[in-house]
Amino acid sequence: MQPLELAADSLEYVLVPWVMTADGVDVDPVARGIAAELAFVRPGSVPAPEAWVTAQWERALGLWHARVLVGPEGAVPLPRGTYDVWVRASGGMQERPVRRSSGRVRVI
């Protein structure tokens, strides 16, 4: 999968798809009170506790996505480089999943 390429001066939302089911039915994270966080780390790294930022849920193209504003003046001002994107969810469920997204972000 090609990385999402962003200009260093771009300010935009990065969306990470999230699929969760319970008893074969898609889970609505907003209705369940599930919180989302994203972390952007160098490839091959795992997020440190301070790397996590609060994300919002958005429904797009029939899927739920965790999203955060990336760029200057955003929640995540990334310097030039390539990043793995991690997502974690908590609250409103027994599990506390932490997953690395299949995509990467490259800031150029």
Domain CATH number, residue 43: 2.60.40
Is residue 1 scored above 70 in pLDDT?
Answer: no
Q: How many domains does the chain have?
A: 1
Q: What is the mean pLDDT of residues 26-32?
A: 90
Q: Rg of the Cα trace of the chain?
A: 14
Model pLDDT for residues 49-82, shown as the tens digit of each residue: 999 999 999 998 889 999 999 999 999 999 999 9
What is the span of the domain harbouring residue 102?
Answer: 4-107
Whose tokens are 């990470």? That residue is 16
Is residue 103 scored above 90 in pLDDT?
Answer: no
DSSP string, 31-67: HHT-EEEEEEE-TT----GGG-EEEEEEEETTEEEEE
- For the chain, give the mean pLDDT: 92
Spatial contact of 17 and 29, defined as CB atoms under 8 Å apart: no
Q: What is the mean pLDDT of residues 14-42?
A: 91
